[in-house]
Amino acid sequence: MAKRTFSSFEIFLIFLLVMMTGITVALLSLLFITSGTIENHTGVPSTQSPPATQGSAAPQNSTPSRAPTTTQVSPTPSTPKTTLFQNFSGYHIGVGRADCTGQVSDINLMGFSKTGQYARGILTRLYSRAFILAEPDGSDRVVFVSIDIGMVSQRLRLEVLSRLQNKYGSLYRRDNVILSGTHTHSGPAGYFQYTTFVIASEGFSNRTFEYMVAGIVKSIEIAHTNMKPGKIFINKGTVDGAQINRSPTSYLWNPQSERARYSSNTDKEMVLLKMVDLNGEELGLISWFAIHPVSMRNTNHLVNSDNVGYASYLFEQEKNKGYLPGEGPYVAAFASSNLGDVSPNVLGPHCTNTGESCENANSSCPIGGASMCVAMGPGQDMFESTQIIGRKIYDKAKELYESASQEVTGPLASAHQWVNMTDVTVWLNSTHTAKTCKPALGYSFAAGTIDGFGTLNFTQGMTEGDSFWDSLRDQVLGKPSEEIKECHKPKPVLLHTGELLKPHPWHPDIVDVQIVTLGFLAITAIPGEFTTMSGRRLRQAVREEFEAYGMLNMTVVISGLCNVYTHYITTYEEYQAQRYEAASTIYGPHTLSAYIQLFRVLAKAIATDTVANLSSGPEPPFFEQLMSPLIPNIVDRAPAGTTFGDILLPANTTYRVGEVVEVTFVGANPKNSAENRTHQTFLTVEKYEATSATWQIIHNDASWETRFYWHKGLLGLSNATIQWHIPDTAQPGSYRIKYFGHSRKQDLLKPAVLLSFESSPSVFEVITTW
């Protein structure tokens, strides 16, 4: 190999990397010197027989309900009410939404893996949206939960299942509960147990994990308590102008004959379920549409739910008239699908230095390389792009919702297995087999994508490694085995995560495969990000399998980012091109074929009513002693003579609509508010109502019109800045902005306490433009 020289910048980066790796390893070994413990998570329902399917008469063996552990939610009997509502064609439907934001400071945002992309405030809250659907006689039920987070982690799911079991016995189980992340890249990290993600999160944050688990469970509890008989209608339609394929050259590796069957290199179809009760009162909706929620860039530091979250917001605000965002009974979920290669940055990739297109196999610019090649959204800035794309999705959903007329009827069923994904034998044809691999990430993983490039100037499409990085890796992490290198070809292995086990495995071996069906609708729960063509192949295979066993004309939807995160899944052909998505297909070239085979088994079991015969498979581990976050908790301080919430920079006296109000306060670390939740919002915008002589809250921190920025100072000092982008619809009058927080205080020899505070109001007038 030709001798290579390094620029001083590269040498600096290398030095930095070595230092960081050294520090990480030192910290890890310090923290884990005693451990390596892998403990089975005992609380998880593991081997209960799955529910009867297809209306078979198998008895529901649910253990009698245990008394709920809290009294917060009214203790509804958890055994199905078999006597009520027996004679109607639909389902029992329950919907629920709960806050699951976690901490909005001192934690990485999950998605871009960009060092230093810490949360520094909030644009919108994150919600868990739960839907419970049960048969009219109350026997079988399924739960679908869409959560405004990057992805569901295995730890999150295991903990949620364990708490559901404690509260409801065997009503909600591994087979009938689907947890799906919307894939926003602007939610907090820190809720993972596999080392790759723990490092990317810079630790495991119990604070955020607890907050998310509690929110998810609460959304299910709310849905559970408000179940009532209703009907589900399905509709489908295409959303135009919201997506591009971000690896179009990989897509072209798929066979011409296959591509010829589709009019686009992304899936434009939205599938939507509309839920109403028997009086026609609207309850909620679930829609699935394939799009990466990365309209917000890797330069963003405000926690938010991105484009699909904005679509939820618009729909819920419209249906929950008179409620603040995040409140009100109507629940609208915009769930993820086969979005692996789908970007919302529809203006496409351009070189930020020269402006020319960099739509090439390496997404690389002639001057400056890959780090100059960035895809832009349609708006002036990322906030506007998010709203433009979100509104397109919302508009189509609204149209489909209003015209939905085909009712979903038929029995409910669910099938689930845990699979050791490192060890699946794939039948290529009747005579030849291949194997999946132990997990590994390829070189192009480090390149990132046109939606957010990697820090180290790698390019996509690398089919050969680099001796420098190889030897650096060998020194720090050890050599990958010949077996793993061979198995992943043509991927050059950058990180052999499947062979890295300290302090805990770096990637999961055990993954979930799961299908639930409602009549002719099948929802496949995918543990990662399928590309467009991967999704098409899986849908077709599952549909054919159902058909082969007598379930004709099934509608199959891909539900993405479910249950456990395993990065990407490309087709075998796309894998050969080794762009980012292929380099991140961690179980090797035959990953998709393995999933197709596994999902066929589930489909067949449902169609032949033999779900009870499926083995549960190997139970995933639940690790103890995860690395704590590197950022310490320190006491908050206010400058001398001030206190938390004092106004540093007040609002001006008057504003016109369209202007931005800004107020700065003496702040405290907002992560405290993820532990002590005396206040549930960081801000309110209030309007004076002369008739009642009261201040009415018109916005909270879940509103897209408000932004809460936190500026971290030294030694516990900080400022909080609240913005209100005054909408054109604002009425003239008197307004005020308030800030709410919690400060950490610690007296000598006493445990820390987190005390709530409320700012003084900053008052101003809004006048019309003329």
Ligand X SMILES: *[C@@H]1O[C@H](CO)[C@@H](O)[C@H](O)[C@H]1NC(C)=O
Site for ligand X contains 222 (CB under 6 A) = no
Determine the Cα–Cα distance for residues 87 and 33; give it in Å rounded to an integer: 62
- Given the rule CB under 6 A, which of 7-15, 25-33, 189-197, 289-297 is the region that contacts ligand X? 7-15
Q: How many other CB atoms are there within 10 angstroms of residue 380's CB atom?
A: 9
Mask: binding to ligand X, 485-524, rule CB under 6 A, as x and -? ------------------------xx--------------
- 183 marked among binding-site residues: yes
Site for ligand X contains 755 (CB under 6 A) = yes
- Given the rule CB under 6 A, which of 21-29, 75-83, 465-473, 710-718 is the region that contacts ligand X? 710-718
Q: Closer to ligand X at the Cβ: 76 or 756?
A: 756
Q: How far is the CB of 316 from ligand X (least distance, A)?
A: 27
Determine the Cα–Cα distance for residues 471 and 644; give it in Å rounded to an integer: 52
Q: Closer to ligand X at the Cβ: 390 or 670?
A: 670
Determine the Cα–Cα distance for residues 177 and 158; give it in Å rounded to an integer: 11
Site for ligand X, residues 405 to 424, rule: CB under 6 A: 420, 422-423
Name the pairing type of β-strands 660-666 and 683-689: unpaired
SS3 at position 257: helix
Mask: binding to ligand X, 598-637, rule CB under 6 A, as x and -? ------------x--x----x-------------------
Q: Which of 153, 162, 343, 444 is catalytic?
A: 343
What is the helix (H) or strand (E) element at residue 555, kind and residue range? strand 555-559
Q: How far is the CB of 422 from ligand X (least distance, A)?
A: 5
Q: Letter for the amino acid at 560?
A: G
Site for ligand X, residues 572 to 591, rule: CB under 6 A: 577
**The two three-digit tokens of residue 180, written as one number:** 């799906």
Q: How far is the CB of 330 from ligand X (least distance, A)?
A: 25
Site for ligand X contains 753 (CB under 6 A) = yes
Q: How far is the CB of 219 from ligand X (least distance, A)?
A: 19
Which of residues 45, 328, 348, 368 is near ligand X by CB under 6 A?
Answer: 368
Residues in the chain: 770
Site for ligand X contains 432 (CB under 6 A) = yes
- 399 marked among binding-site residues: no
Site for ligand X contains 245 (CB under 6 A) = no
SS3 at position 9: helix
Site for ligand X contains 756 (CB under 6 A) = yes
- Given the rule CB under 6 A, which of 109-117, 258-266, 337-345, 647-655 is the region that contacts ligand X? 647-655
In contact, 577 and 632? CB cutoff 8 Å: no
Which of residues 28, 199, 252, 361 is near ligand X by CB under 6 A?
Answer: 361
- 529 marked among binding-site residues: yes
Q: How far is the CB of 123 from ligand X (least distance, A)?
A: 18
Mask: binding to ligand X, 186-215, rule CB under 6 A, as x and -? --------------------x---x-----
Q: How far is the CB of 723 from ligand X (least distance, A)?
A: 9
Which of residues 23, 428, 501, 548 is near ligand X by CB under 6 A?
Answer: 428
Site for ligand X contains 4 (CB under 6 A) = no
List CB contacts of 301: < 8 A, sequence separation 6 or more: 109, 117, 118, 119, 120, 121
E-assigned strand segments in 646-758:
647-649, 654-656, 660-666, 683-689, 694-699, 706-712, 718-725, 733-745, 753-758
Which of residues 133, 177, 314, 462 is near ligand X by CB under 6 A?
Answer: 462
Comparing CA positions, the residue from 626, 722, 718, 641 lying closest to residue 672 is 718
Comparing CA positions, the residue from 56, 54, 414, 406 lying closest to residue 231 is 406
Site for ligand X contains 362 (CB under 6 A) = yes
C-alpha R_g of the chain: 26
Q: How far is the CB of 691 from ligand X (least distance, A)?
A: 29
Measure Cα distances from 276 to 44, 223, 289, 398 in Å: 33, 14, 21, 15
Omega of the bond leading into 503 within 30 degrees of 0 (cis): yes
In contact, 419 and 340? CB cutoff 8 Å: no
Q: How far is the CB of 37 from ligand X (least distance, A)?
A: 13
Q: Closer to ligand X at the Cβ: 691 or 769?
A: 769
List CB contacts of 660: < 8 A, sequence separation 6 or more: 723, 724, 725, 726
Which of residues 320, 414, 459, 517 is near ligand X by CB under 6 A?
Answer: 459
Mask: binding to ligand X, 546-575, rule CB under 6 A, as x and -? -------x-x--------------------
In contact, 224 and 168? CB cutoff 8 Å: yes
Q: What are phi and psi of 685, to 5 degrees?
A: -110, 125
List CB contacts of 369: < 8 A, sequence separation 6 or more: 457, 459
Site for ligand X contains 101 (CB under 6 A) = no
Q: Closer to ligand X at the Cβ: 439 or 528?
A: 439
Site for ligand X contains 676 (CB under 6 A) = yes
In contact, 104 and 212? CB cutoff 8 Å: no
Burial label, 282 (beta-carbon count in 10 A; 0-12, 13-18, 19+): middle
Site for ligand X contains 597 (CB under 6 A) = no
Q: Closer to ligand X at the Cβ: 308 or 351?
A: 351
Size of the site for ligand X (CB under 6 A): 48
Mask: binding to ligand X, 369-398, rule CB under 6 A, as x and -? x-x---------------------------
Q: How many other CB atoms are there within 10 angstroms of residue 539's CB atom?
A: 21
List CB contacts of 15: < 8 A, sequence separation 6 or more: none
Which string of DSSP letters, residue by residue, matches 85-137? S-S-SSEEEEEEEEE----SEEEEEESS--TT-EEEEESS--EEEEEEEE-TT
Mask: binding to ligand X, 311-340, rule CB under 6 A, as x and -? ------------------------------
User: Active-site residue 343, yes or no?
Assistant: yes
Site for ligand X contains 672 (CB under 6 A) = no
Measure Cα distances from 704 to 19, 119, 288, 321, 719 in Å: 40, 17, 22, 16, 21
Which of residues 35, 46, 457, 481 is near ligand X by CB under 6 A?
Answer: 457
Catalytic residues: 343
Which residue ranges make up the annotated binding site for Zn(2+)? Answer: 183, 292, 529, 568
Which residue ranges make up the annotated binding site? Answer: 183, 292, 529, 568
Which residues in this chain contact ligand X in the complex, by CB under 6 A?
A: 7, 9-10, 87, 206, 210, 361-362, 368-369, 371, 420, 422-423, 428-432, 457, 459, 461-463, 509-510, 553, 555, 577, 610, 613, 618, 648-649, 652, 662, 664, 676, 678, 711, 713, 717-719, 753-756
